[in-house]
Structure 1
């Protein structure tokens, strides 16, 4: 069952994600949103705030490279998919109220925050001593929401607090741009980490796609 809170969070997430990934703006559909991503293996994605139309979508969407992201219990989503769909590991739509905290960067690292010309998208990059990227992430501000995206830390630089540096840097940049809350889509492992620092789960998310057959022919 869709709740108004989940629907509003989905709206924020799809618009911020599109800004972050520099795709066309999401298109409102009767049951959710369509984003025309435009890649061969990710041609289009449909984001649904509830499970009501999963069975219909699963039967009528047939083009390889089509993705579904559905808010709702995983078993209910999978039960409505046809065998053509490849299901991804569990994900979680999460939110938190933003606050600005001190950013302490451990030596010998340094953090750089880079804003795009329009100002709505910012990257936080933690550089190692040799100039390489040790950790990074992106935030896209849409209205009062800051959508956090593509946060990662190089395996050689993990367990040094660099992810925290990135998240706090992104939060500060988002608050400067008028955001009061943050939204992200986390993996199962990521959700455990984000819960430990105050994030809440708005909804479980199940992703599935119609794979592209890239095997050579002839």
Structure 2
């Protein structure tokens, strides 16, 4: 076999593997979104209390670490469903609050869901159609997310509504960029583990939804 043929074969195998990762990621992402939505809906319907700021942070980062640690084993699937189920539980009381506090709460939730879906499809589609790799975005996105996270902690601890609103706007932009980046990494073989890829994309959707819901509540909510 010639070197050229070997190179072509290697590229073909890489493409097939990448397509498999992309396919498996979207399948697992769909399943975890449905599971998380079911947990959120149940939590909201039963008016269960929010777990609290500290428990939410510890649970989120603890389960995120667990997913990363088990991503290469069969336990990874159990871990990702535990993580997404927990986040679903944290969303439930927030949705319930919007439904109770705003007369158009159901509309706000629906609009936030629709906006989240539209952004995800649009950003993923851009990454797929462009065929580009956006690895140069990695450092910028990481720094931006870190800054936004610290700002969100300050906004919560010191009850600064204006800062909280600014953080939501930042997260919409950052999560949109992260969708493009992560999809590009999957397509070009930078991410070969579909469980880790699902984790990243789920977190982007989670943050997008909450950010859009907060923005809609401020600008379109009817008390």
Same fold (TM > 0.5):
no
TM-score by length of 2: 0.29
Pick the structure with more strand per residue: 1
TM-score by length of 1: 0.29
Greater RCO, CA 8 A, separation 6+: 2
